Amino acid sequence: MDGTPRIAGLALTLGLSIFASGAAASEIYRYTDEDGNIHFTDRPTGQSDVERVAIVSRPTDDAAVQQRYEARFGESDEPDVEVEVAQEDQDENGPRTRNDHLVEAEQRARACAEHRARLEMLDAARRLYREDASTGERTYLDDDQIEEARARERQLVADTCD
């Protein structure tokens, strides 16, 4: 006697039970405890204020996601298109593309963050030193040198973080 129909029947039963458990797991219940905290669970608790939450699931529209991404970040898979630009947007290689502007903006943002962090460190430090490159010895800065370093870093923040 061949066991194939029996195995197929077991596989079908197992598949249906998995499908049914998946449908049951999609029910979500919401309730508020005695302290006013809101809780979510996959099983009803038996409390009087338990409310079944309607869950609506839809497949993701990849085209709509791509459009939102491009609208937000201005990037696409299309090659850069050269546009008419002002004279200050010219460099030795000709007009700059939109991607050039995005790269420059990212570099400025990174430099701005680095200068802000350095200025914060300079403002918080009580003692500052420079390390001699040849000997590795520390030379502590006096108050005028510290203020000069802070002023220089403030100017860099102002220049890069418009």
| Main-chain phi, psi angles of 156, to 5 degrees | -65, -40
In this structure, what DSSP letter does residue 139 have?
Answer: E
Render pLDDT for 19-34 as a digit per residue (tens, 0 to 9).
Answer: 554 444 468 888 888 8
What is the pLDDT averaged over residues 86-105?
67
Helix H or strand E segment including 31: strand 28-32
In this structure, what DSSP letter does residue 124 have?
Answer: H
Q: What is the pLDDT of residue 155?
A: 92
Residue 2: pLDDT band (50, 70, 90) is low
Render pLDDT for 56-71 as a digit per residue (tens, 0 to 9).
Answer: 777 888 888 888 888 8
Encoded tokens for 6: 């029996």
User: What does pTM read for this prediction?
Assistant: 0.39
Amino acid making up residue 55: I
Task: Identify whether the C-beta of residue 115 lies closer than 8 Å to the C-beta of residue 156.
Answer: yes
Tell whether the model's pLDDT for residue 36 goes beyond 60: yes
**Other C-beta atoms within 10 Å of 107: how many?**
11
